[in-house]
Chains A and B, each alone.
Chain A
């Protein structure tokens, strides 16, 4: 089988589904079961999309949302993975802290919205705070559980070959959990992208979440759909980018065993 053919085989079915969905949507809109102001047609959404692009607002909103997710999620990764590594290596600390971590993980970050506004006002900071909360606790938990599950023989072998301290963490512990960390990154990046929309609806003056709210207030349902499509598409792109990490040669073992 040629590579070109296998490529088209993987791309064709999802592309077909998209085309079919657009057709279905067009037909439903053409039937005029609901007025255009409640059920916009693909044509009006496309027109709205062009309008938003030309005004530059869409681009500004995308940048604002991506910036918040980048900072909030980035902070969660920088702090959460080391915290998880530390917890994973210390059974006592794990026993003490995991219930608390689990508590905060189970608490929807949206429950923090009142505090986010009280503490950080409106704009980037409350959204970053909420995104951080959404990603940090699951990352800590996933990392520490993964460390706890490393077969003890790896540490025996590491000891036999003179690994200790920092080198043990970077050369043994971290690579041993890398496949699970990548999975956790994908899940938490997705969570962050969900949370930014909600955060911007309530504590934002720009961003894709705010764009939805703003469009609804202006009775521009077509622009709501524009923002929805952009949000979903970017979410897919983020996941595709992170799933590229699973192709790192030293992580393949975690997906092929």
Chain B
């Protein structure tokens, strides 16, 4: 197995006169978690479509090694299939019936939905559905996971919980991940490397490495500092010191 499953070289994509991506270079190590953040319309989803092979670059190259799967932001589960049948889609490459069943059970255990194999997606909560999506994408020994704002449609608390679930799942079944989000906190909490895109045409504005074991608390100083740096890169945060002369809210025990 190569230690560089994804290598992107001088990648560009235009749609007619509209330049979506310009001059993207990105080398992704095996089992690295790369988060791509940037303003909306900066070409993040275009990048994923190119990485997955769904779309073709205007120029530049992508070297991709291994099986790639995408996790979508909208409901990508087939509503006419049960949870188990949806996950079995991801195991279509496994020819042995017994082995396929065994891996299905394993994946259901991984997402702690063992009792929901026979349920249909509409009988599950949004967070549970997204867990099934993750299991389906990870099934069949996928090497590279491309995630397009996978938690974007969930409520705040569910989103927080899903980050921990994702960390836990990746610890059990390591994968190379490219995670697109506009949620900078999410990126800072999850990623080994944070790639900040500029406005359209999307270019890499800067990269930040975060050398901190996961799971990370949202309030960890390094996470907070990373968020601050990304925001200031994007021109959304004043670089002057925070907190001076500001009355911080105090919590009172009730």
| A interface, CB within 8 angstroms of B | 151, 153-154, 156-157, 159-162, 172, 175-176, 178, 249-254, 256-257
Contacts of A175 in B (CB 8 A): 78, 80-81
Contacts of B120 in A (CB 8 A): 249, 252-253
Interface digits, B69-91 against A, CB 8 Å rule (1 contact, 0 not)?
11010111011110000000110
Q: Is the CB of B122 within 8 A of A256?
A: yes
Asked whether B202 is an interface residue with its Cβ less than 8 Å from the other chain, the reply is no
Contacts of B70 in A (CB 8 A): 156, 160
User: In terms of DSSP, what is the predominant structure of the interface of chain A?
Assistant: helix
Q: Is the CB of B76 within 8 A of A253?
A: no
Alpha-carbon gap, A175 to B121, bound state (A): 14
Write the nearest CB–CB distance from B76 to chain A, whole angstroms.
Answer: 5
Alpha-carbon gap, A227 to B62, bound state (A): 73
* Chain B interface residue bracket vs A: 10 to 19
Alpha-carbon gap, A175 to B89, bound state (A): 15
| B interface, CB within 8 angstroms of A | 52, 54, 69-70, 72, 74-76, 78-81, 89-90, 92-93, 120-122
Alpha-carbon gap, A132 to B10, bound state (A): 59
Write the nearest CB–CB distance from A85 to chain B, whole angstroms.
Answer: 16
Candidates B72, B92, B121; contact of A156 at CB < 8 Å: B72
Contacts of B74 in A (CB 8 A): 151, 153
- Further pairs besides A156-B54, A162-B92, A175-B81: 15, Cβ < 8 Å: A151-B74, A153-B74, A153-B75, A154-B78, A156-B76, A157-B78, A157-B89, A159-B54, A161-B90, A161-B92, A172-B78, A175-B80, A176-B80, A250-B81, A253-B121
Write the nearest CB–CB distance from B81 to chain A, whole angstroms.
Answer: 7
A250 touching B90 in the complex, CB below 8 Å, given contacts A153-B75, A156-B54, A157-B72: no
Alpha-carbon gap, A1 to B121, bound state (A): 28
Contacts of B92 in A (CB 8 A): 161-162
Q: Is the CB of B72 within 8 A of A253?
A: no
Contacts of B78 in A (CB 8 A): 154, 157, 172, 175-176
Alpha-carbon gap, A175 to B120, bound state (A): 14
Alpha-carbon gap, A178 to B122, bound state (A): 16
Q: Is the CB of B80 within 8 A of A178?
A: yes
Contacts of A153 in B (CB 8 A): 72, 74-76
Contacts of B52 in A (CB 8 A): 160
Contacts of B80 in A (CB 8 A): 175-176, 178, 250-251, 253
Alpha-carbon gap, A175 to B52, bound state (A): 26
Alpha-carbon gap, A252 to B81, bound state (A): 11
Contacts of A253 in B (CB 8 A): 79-80, 120-122
Candidates B72, B75, B79, B89; contact of A161 at CB < 8 Å: B89
Closest to A249 in B: B120
